[in-house]
Amino acid sequence: MDEKQQKLSLKREVGLIGAVSLIAGTMIGSGIFMSPQTVILSIGSSGASLVLWASCGLLVILMAFCYAELGTVIQESGGEYVYILRTSGPVMAFMLAFSSILFVRPAGVAGISLSFAQYVVAPFYPECPPPVSVVKCVAAAAVLILATINCMNVRFSMSVQVFFMVAKVVALGVIVVGGVVMLAKGNTESFQNSFKNSNVGINPIGIALYQGLWSYDGWNNLNYVTEELKRPEHSPTMEQGLSLKREVGIIGAMSFIAGTMIGSGIFISPQYVLLAIGSPGASFIIWACCGLIAMLGGLCYAELGTVIPESGGEYIYMLRTAGKITAFVFVFSFVSVMRPASATGIALSCAEYVVAPFYSGCAPPQLVLKCVAAVEILALALVNCLSVRLATGIQVVTMTIKALTLAVIILGGAVMLFQGNTANFEDSFDGTNVGVKAIGIAFYQGLWSYDGWNTLNYLTEELKHPEFLSWRIKKQKD
């Protein structure tokens, strides 16, 4: 008699309360009680500290949304290891597991346990700091006890997790209520000149962000035990194929391209192009060449979108043509460097226009510009995570406003030309800089202004009625 090979399956014993406690109980850990002092020490002011905590919280919410989606698409325990294994292959997954087991996890557990041990032994040493050896022994005992409990029984470990979550929520509630009571009594000294002495350097902001994000650590814990959940929501698996909801129509598609191209760059780059190239005549040629390049690039991407009708843009094209390694290298540099730098430049440019009316007599402070730019990025990210329709609607409205603004500028220029203001066209090539550096900088500024012609290829699968006109697609259908 043939014996069927059965797949190893984990026992589903984690319910809703256990799942919530696994996330909330880990997030409300030692870090949330110790990090605030380090954050305010690094950033230098209470106002900047509150902004940083809000930014970290919003960032964690967005990441948790992403992991919730990943948990329904790839319904396996293991968290990041399984996701990288299914998307980037065993080599990348092994590198993650190797570094996580040997360095990342032990360091995180050691930090949390040492913080916990300091609170435990503090009542026994009221007059002096506790000995380091005592703190380390208590921390080691805590790690061993929790490891033993988790190895013995899932239900028991869940009960311990729920108990400690309730205790920590109560403690946190006492702190919050106490703070509200003090505010109600008029203790608002910390909010007077709350941004004074803020440290806006990369080093203090980076340290403060690290401390804030470390305090929120734990939002991804549930994805490590996906197969142990009692009643998980079953979405289509990777084998069945994930289908995105088609909610982007022709107007939304046009707004995604035109609205992105007509961004802050189109209003701020002309002065830099003219400054770099040195003359209005050469500047016109640069703009025409950049427009032609962007148009040709748009035509190529329109063809690629019909040949490979998948969302993802350059990543999916490299994945289908050059393999996983090349696609991973591209997406790593894209996510880590290229896209953040571009989004930062656009956000800062927009922030300059937003705050300019409030500083008519002087240049706006850099801190104000950076805060407004950060709020813009976070707000747009939140809108895109909440609803595709809402994001598309906002994109259409902003595109219309920007198109009208651009039309006013163009009509104003045309009217001035008809009135005889043609001084800029006399000897228009005088003073032209023909050096490689000057032309390169001018081209870069011009192409950056046209950036956005490839936006639609990132959401090909979300278009309502895409036209598949490629002969390759037709051949496959036949």
Three-state secondary structure along 69-132?
Answer: HHHHHCCCCCCHHHHHHHHHCHHHHHHHHHHHHHHHHHHHHHHHHHHHHHHHHHHHCCCCCCCH
**Ramachandran angles phi, psi of 205, nearest 5°:** -65, -40
- 278-316 pLDDT, tens per residue? 888 888 899 899 889 988 988 888 888 888 888 888 888
- What confidence tier does 465 reach under pLDDT thresholds 50, 70, 90? low
d(CA 440, CA 225): 52
d(CA 432, CA 289): 16
d(CA 42, CA 50): 13
Instruction: Please spell the DSSP secondary structure of 230-265, one letter per residue.
Output: SS------TTT-------B-HHHHHHHHHHHHSSHH
DSSP classification of residue 465:
S
Nearest residue to 306 (alpha-carbon basis) of 110, 86, 472: 472
Residue 468 has pLDDT above 50, yes or no: no
Nearest residue to 208 (alpha-carbon basis) of 343, 45, 23: 45
Which own/partner contact pairs does 34-43 have at CB distance under 8 Å and 24+ positions apart?
34/115, 34/118, 35/211, 35/212, 35/214, 35/215, 36/215, 38/207, 38/208, 38/211, 39/208, 39/211, 39/212, 42/199, 42/204, 42/205, 42/207, 42/208, 42/211, 43/198, 43/199, 43/204, 43/205, 43/208
d(CA 261, CA 346): 11
Domain boundaries, the chain: 16-228, 250-475
Residue 235 has pLDDT above 50, yes or no: no
Q: Provide the mean pLDDT of the chain.
A: 81
**Ramachandran angles phi, psi of 161, nearest 5°:** -65, -45
Nearest residue to 121 (alpha-carbon basis) of 132, 140, 135, 110: 135
Nearest residue to 300 (alpha-carbon basis) of 175, 74, 124, 470: 470
Q: What is the share, in percent, of the chain residues with pLDDT greater than 70?
A: 90
- pLDDT computed for residue 300 by the predictor: 87
- Average pLDDT over every residue of 171-184: 84
- Average pLDDT over every residue of 341-346: 81
Beta-carbon count within 10 A of 325 CB: 14
Nearest residue to 309 (alpha-carbon basis) of 459, 133, 186, 416: 459
- pLDDT computed for residue 245 by the predictor: 65
Residue 10 has pLDDT above 80, yes or no: no
- 391-415 pLDDT, tens per residue? 888 888 888 888 888 889 889 888 8
- pLDDT computed for residue 474 by the predictor: 44
Angle at 79 between CA 73 and CA 82, to 5 degrees: 70
- What confidence tier does 138 reach under pLDDT thresholds 50, 70, 90? very high
Cα distances (angstroms) measured from residue 141 to each of 125, 145, 243: 19, 6, 48
- Average pLDDT over every residue of 109-124: 86
d(CA 35, CA 46): 14
CA 456 to chain centroid, in Å, comes to 19
Determine contact, residues 458/312, Cβ cutoff 8 Å: yes
Nearest residue to 8 (alpha-carbon basis) of 227, 231, 155, 237: 227
The radius of gyration computed from the CA coordinates of the chain, to the nearest angstrom, equals 28
N- to C-terminal Cα separation, the chain: 45
d(CA 377, CA 296): 30
Q: Tokens for 124?
A: 């026994």
- What confidence tier does 477 reach under pLDDT thresholds 50, 70, 90? very low
Q: Tokens for 359?
A: 């500083």
